[in-house]
Amino acid sequence: MSDFAYRDGQLHAEEVPIPRIAEDVGTPFYCYASAGLKRRYRAFADAFAGLPATICYALKANSNLAVVRTLATLGAGADVVSEGELRRALAVGVPAAKIVFSGVGKTEGELALALETGILQVNVESESELEALSNLARARGVKARVALRVNPDVEAGTHEKITTGRKGSKFGIEVERVPGLYARAATLSGIEPVGLAVHIGSQITDLAPFRAAFARIAGLVAELRAAGHAVRRLDLGGGLGIAYGRETPPSPAEYASLVEAVIGPLEAELVLEPGRALVGDAGVLVTRVLHVKDGSTRRYVIVDAAMNDLLRPALYDAYHAIRLVQEAPAEAATAPVDVVGPVCESGDSFAVGRRLPPVGSGDLLVIDSAGAYGAVMASSYNSRPPAPEVLVKGTEYAVVRPRPDIDDLLGQDLMPDWLAAPGETRSRGAA
């Protein structure tokens, strides 16, 4: 079921015509469907209903407060990787007891905040981090609940830049070092080791890598328990992919069946960290055609969205389906075009040689499956204000992050005294 479907020849977000939102907020803009967020969360939660699982939504996929609250009201916890994400989760009402702090490079301030807020656990990724966290906890008279993140040396079968679980990756602790570090954790006065964590990458569309990683974790659990250690919780990470094009990723139910078969016999509490699987298909990027330009060998459709708005195609050569908002007649001929943005980079391209019906200046296009790793990765490169975000619910819609104006961007910069004009805002530095 699509949350963005044609009705009377016009693409709608749930019950709202996309052109109506475009007229109101301008283009480009992100649009999220509440119904899609809820349906995908419930499918995931239902799949794991028979297991002792806590679903911690990975904020890195989309950290808009309205999106996070939508999921939190359904019972989602949060997987966070920075102080900012932790504060976002808390701000929308995610209970601290359902928050997991992941990430390879947590600062002392972030670890201290995790302790002070009493989150569920910290996923520790190095001996240095473990020692630092123990010292901070001991100084506060508390114990930090930790899971050691394991690098299982498994090929995830996904893009090089989003593979995180093979030897040589910066993430996690190598399998052979885990037993010794777990034993060390058990001796530290500021640490309570509660289990293991694993996350092998993102946009995984085959169960085999998950099976291999979970089997490694199961073997480690058996080894640790045989050595007398308590291992009561397993964080299995996220990474379940979506269909951007012709992929056929496993369903949440198929994924849950694998978890039950491999991990279920361990009788451990489970933490799951879905991100893209919950929000990816629930969002689109709407853009307007500025110009159609014919070259000697190709036709360019130049749109007002750019790589500063949606980085994935430039960064990962990622595929996103592209549709006209005004439905083309079934008999309309298609032709190959390059859909490109206005940023001064050759890499500012959303599609190369993509077959589309005829388009002209002023037409609206939708870039599908943009709800994950879209707005969160946006920037103001070329001094372009990032696209605003809109949330739809039925017949209603609201701007949930406005578009900054140019003055907002200029106001972020300050002048040193030696360059400031009279009355200009100046920086405050050391004399």
Amino acid residing at 401: R
**Backbone φ, ψ for residue 381 (5° rounding):** -55, 145
Enumerate the β-bridge partners of residue 367.
285, 322
Number of neighbouring beta carbons within 10 Å of residue 230: 12
Q: Which residues contact 258 (CB under 8 A, 6 or more apart)?
A: 207, 210, 211, 214, 250
The region that residue 168 occupies, defined by phi over 0 for left and psi between -120 and 50 for alpha, beta otherwise, is left
With H, G, I as helix, E, B as strand and everything else as coil, classify residue 303.
strand
Q: Are 359 and 328 in contact (CB under 8 A)?
A: no
Closest CA to 234 of 249, 215, 250: 215
Q: What is the DSSP string of 52-75?
A: -EEEEEEGGG---HHHHHHHHTTT
Out of 1, 226, 344, 431, the active site residue is 344
10 to 15, 30, 230, 344, 364: CA distances (angstroms): 11, 17, 58, 32, 10
Q: Are 365 and 326 in contact (CB under 8 A)?
A: no
Largest CA distance in the chain: 73
- State the sign of the Cα–Cα–Cα–Cα dihedral 122, 62, 170, 266: positive
Active site residue 344: yes
CA atoms lying within 13 Å on the CB side of residue 57: 37
- What positions carry a catalytic annotation? 344
